[in-house]
């Protein structure tokens, strides 16, 4: 009986290294597969960063080109001053028109509706006015910050 048991144990344990090698190989393949997945993710991330870098360089080059073109146009002192004043003059005119409309609204509320001036100012500063104010402030002072935020 012991001989038979010893033979079976000897025969069964001869397969043990092969079984252990099978599990070790399986674990190695799993590790290599995970490593390859991480490498693919790293390559994708590098590609995204490279595209973002190229976009930033293109924006810089476009801005340089616009400024260079603008500097190259010379139509004389008066015309150059007129060209340079269009945006500021329009901005001032629209701002004065906006202030005039709001001041007229406040004046009308105070005189025609007998509303206290503090209440009239609060009523004149409605949600649309606040949104317009935020848009103008963002345009003049936060254009780059907003464009960077939107690219994320």
What is the value of pTM for the model shown? 0.47
Domain assignment present for 6: no
- How confident is the model over 87-146, as pLDDT tens digits? 889 989 999 999 999 999 999 999 998 899 999 999 999 999 988 888 888 877 776 666
User: Do 107 and 143 share a structural domain?
Assistant: yes
Domain assignment present for 98: yes
User: Do 98 and 56 share a structural domain?
Assistant: no
- How confident is the model over 20-33, as pLDDT tens digits? 777 788 888 888 99
User: Do 94 and 146 share a structural domain?
Assistant: yes
User: Do 66 and 42 share a structural domain?
Assistant: yes
The region of weakest confidence among 45-59, 60-74, 102-116, 131-145 is 131-145
pLDDT over 70 (residue 15): no
**DSSP string across the chain:** -HHHHHHHHHHHHTSHHHHHHHHHHHHHHHHHHHHHHHHHHHHHHHHHHHHHHHHHHHHHHHHHHHHHHHHH----HHHHHHHHHHHHHHHHHHHHHHHHHHHHHHHHHHHHS---HHHHHHHHS-HHHHHHHHHHHHHHHSHHHHHHHHH-
* Domains held by the chain: number: 2
Query: Domain range spanning residue 111?
Result: 87-152
Is 124 in contact with 109 (CB distance < 8 Å)? yes
User: Do 44 and 96 share a structural domain?
Assistant: no
Domain assignment present for 136: yes
Nearest to 122 by CA among 130, 111, 132, 133: 130
């Amino acid at each position: 009986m012991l001989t038979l048991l010893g033979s079976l144990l000897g025969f069964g344990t001869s397969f043990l290294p092969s079984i252990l090698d099978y599990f070790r190989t399986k674990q190695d393949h799993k590790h290599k597969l995970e490593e390859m997945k991480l490498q693919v993710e790293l390559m994708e991330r590098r590609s995204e960063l490279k595209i973002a870098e190229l976009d930033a360089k293109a924006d810089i080059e476009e801005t340089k080109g616009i400024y260079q073109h603008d500097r190259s146009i010379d139509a004389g002192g008066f015309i150059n001053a007129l060209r340079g004043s269009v945006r500021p003059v329009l901005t001032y005119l629209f701002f004065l028109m906006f202030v005039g409309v709001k001041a007229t609204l406040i004046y009308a509320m105070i005189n025609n509706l007998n509303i206290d001036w503090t209440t009239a100012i609060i009523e004149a500063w409605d949600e649309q006015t606040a949104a317009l104010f935020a848009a103008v402030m963002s345009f003049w002072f936060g254009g780059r910050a907003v464009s960077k935020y939107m690219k994320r």
